[in-house]
Structure formats: structure tokens, C-alpha cells
């Protein structure tokens, strides 16, 4: 028995670099707007809380780390978020008021390391989980740590199974296969990629997984960033650093909304859960179209920690 169709949305919006709490409040306003339009699920772009530092080299030529780059990293660390912080509380309150399921990108800090993370909020339940980007791309590896296999969830919700893969992680075939094996139906793809090649990739993934793909990218100009931030694309406030391209695609690869390159907006589309099963009639990548006798994938979803403490018996705190 399938659930009724429902409206989903992607927020093509600029974050507020340097002020993650203001970004969270902006997200709360967009959550309320999407809920008023009848949406039940809303996807935000990569690094919406904490910002995507487009064009910043952090003063790191090969073999060197300049002092100004260290200061830039400190500033970037200071605008990241903690999962017990005010920004998460603002989003949780917004989802509790509206009942929306929200997927939002953030820059998460843990001690001295930053992670490009997606957070999942389920209405009144608040924050229910996260996914840390497994493989930062190119220069991102300088400023972000690597996620491990313990944060690759797909959540069972009242309107389908929801998960997220961030930006160029979507080009990792084995990660996609793991998501498909978890039965993902609403495949969320927060990104910073605004190129013409992005939409064909999203259509391929929808066809490959026979799932809905919701991809969100910021539309943001140089004016949104602090003047002191380095930017390889120049200092003209009107320069567009990310031009959007957000879209919603159905399980047979049809584009239902977008791509939009005109500015900030919310895109909407009707999601029919039955379309996922109809798509699998002739192609189920982890079912009848798989060849387990030839190909197998092993996934290690254990958390990886640098330090594990093994205490001797009786060494713990006493009553």
C-alpha cells in the first residue's frame, strides 16, 4: 500500500557567510515559506550553515602555509557550527512548528577539525542524524576532514526512505550502490556544483537508482561574503560565485523542476511514491538487475576513531 503523493521542495538560496546563526534564521524563514506552500520535505544546499568558501585558497601553495591562511582558517572555523549549538536549535524549532522533514548542509566542527555535513531534521523529532562527506574534493581536503562509514544513513519516514550524498560524492559509484542497497527513494544531493554537467549526472542517478533526486545549490554573489575574504574570482560585489542549477528529477530521469539559474528561489514538485516501484519494473540495480554472483560490495560502517580508551576493571568512577 503506497502513501499518497506529496509536495517536496529544494531551496536555492544564499547562505550568510560569517554568520551561521543568521543563515539558520534565514533557513527557518524558508522552511515556513515552503510549509505554507504545502511542502512536506525541503532540501538546502551544501554548507548552507557555515558557508562554502568559494575561491579561497587559505594561503596554502604546495609546501607552504602562509600566516594569513591560518587566520583565514581560524575565521572559517569560528563560523562553523556545533551540533548542540543555537543554529541547530533554530532549525529544530522551525521543523517542529511546520512538521517538515529538512535536509540541510552545514560545516560541522569537532575539536580542531571541520566536516562538510548534512543534517536531517524530522518535524517535532528534531535532529535525527547526519552524513559527513566521505571525500572532500581537491582543495576542500585542506579545510575539511573525511567522514567515515558510520554516517551514511537512509531514514525511513512517513513518505519514503530519505538519504543524502554531497556534491562530488555523487561520482563515487560504490557509495551510490550503498545508498541504493538501503532502499533510498528520496535521494538528496546538496551541492556547490553549478556547471552544465551537473544536471545530467543527477538524471543518471535517478535512472540508476529508480529514485527521486532532489539537488540544491546556492545562488550567491561576492557581495554576500566579508570584504576581507580572499576570492580568486575577484572582488566585484556583483560577481556570481555560485549560480544555482537546483532541480528535482523523477525515477525515470524526467526533470520535474528546474534547473534554475536566475536567482534565489524555492522549487517544488509532486512526489508519487508509486513511481519508484513502477521504475523498478525493468531495472532494480540491487535486485533483479544485480549480478551478485559476479559483483559484490562490502561496506564498513563502523566509526573510526583515532583514540580508543580501554580501561582496566574497576578503574571507572565510584558511587
Which residues are marked as active site? Answer: 46, 133, 167
| CA distance to 211, 217, 232, per residue, from 248 (Å) | 11, 12, 31
Q: Any idea what DSSP says for residue 45?
A: P
What count of other Cβ atoms lies within 10 Å of the Cβ of residue 173? Answer: 10
Strands 6-12 and 39-43, by their bridges, are: parallel
> Torsion-angle region of residue 122: left (phi > 0), alpha (psi -120 to 50) or beta?
beta
Q: Which residues contact 176 (CB under 8 A, 6 or more apart)?
A: 165, 170, 205, 208, 209
Is-contact 104 41, C-beta < 8 A? no
Amino acid at each position: 500500500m503506497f502513501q499518497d503523493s506529496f509536495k517536496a521542495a529544494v531551496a536555492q538560496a544564499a547562505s550568510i557567510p560569517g554568520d551561521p546563526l543568521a543563515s539558520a534564521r534565514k533557513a527557518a524563514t524558508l522552511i515556513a515559506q515552503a510549509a505554507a506552500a504545502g511542502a512536506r520535505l525541503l532540501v538546502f544546499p551544501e554548507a548552507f550553515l557555515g558557508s562554502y568558501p568559494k575561491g579561497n585558497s587559505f594561503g596554502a601553495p604546495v609546501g607552504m602555509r602562509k600566516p594569513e591562511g591560518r587566520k583565514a582558517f581560524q575565521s572559517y572555523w569560528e563560523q562553523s557550527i556545533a551540533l548542540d549549538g543555537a543554529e541547530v536549535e533554530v532549525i529544530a524549532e522551525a521543523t517542529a512548528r511546520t512538521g517538515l522533514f529538512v535536509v540541510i548542509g552545514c560545516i560541522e566542527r569537532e575539536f580542531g577539525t571541520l566536516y562538510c555535513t548534512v543534517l536531517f531534521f524530522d518535524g517535532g523529532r528534531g535532529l535525527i542524524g547526519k552524513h559527513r562527506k566521505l571525500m572532500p574534493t581537491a582543495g576542500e581536503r585542506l579545510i575539511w576532514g573525511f567522514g567515515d562509514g558510520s554516517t551514511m544513513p537512509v531514514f525511513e519516514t512517513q513518505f519514503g526512505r530519505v538519504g543524502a550524498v554531497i556534491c562530488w560524492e555523487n561520482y563515487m559509484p560504490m557509495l551510490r550502490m550503498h545508498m541504493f542497497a538501503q532502499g533510498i527513494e528520496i535521494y538528496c544531493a546538496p551541492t556547490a556544483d553549478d556547471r552544465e554537467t551537473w544536471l545530467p549526472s543527477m538524471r543518471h542517478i535517478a535512472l540508476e537508482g529508480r529514485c527521486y533526486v532532489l539537488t540544491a545549490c546556492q545562488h550567491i554573489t561576492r557581495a554576500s561574503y566579508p570584504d576581507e575574504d580572499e576570492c580568486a574570482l575577484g572582488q566585484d560585489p556583483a560577481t556570481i560565485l555560485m549560480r544555482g542549477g537546483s532541480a528535482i528529477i523523477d525515477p525515470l530521469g524526467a526533470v520535474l523542476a528546474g534547473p534554475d539559474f536566475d536567482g534565489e528561489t524555492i522549487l517544488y514538485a509532486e512526489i508519487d511514491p508509486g513511481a519508484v516501484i513502477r521504475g523498478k519494473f525493468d531495472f532494480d540495480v540491487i535486485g533483479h538487475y544485480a549480478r551478485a554472483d559476479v559483483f559484490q560490495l562490502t561496506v564498513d560502517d563502523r566509526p573510526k576513531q583515532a583514540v580508543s580508551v580501554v580501561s582496566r576493571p574497576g578503574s571507572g568512577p565510584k558511587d
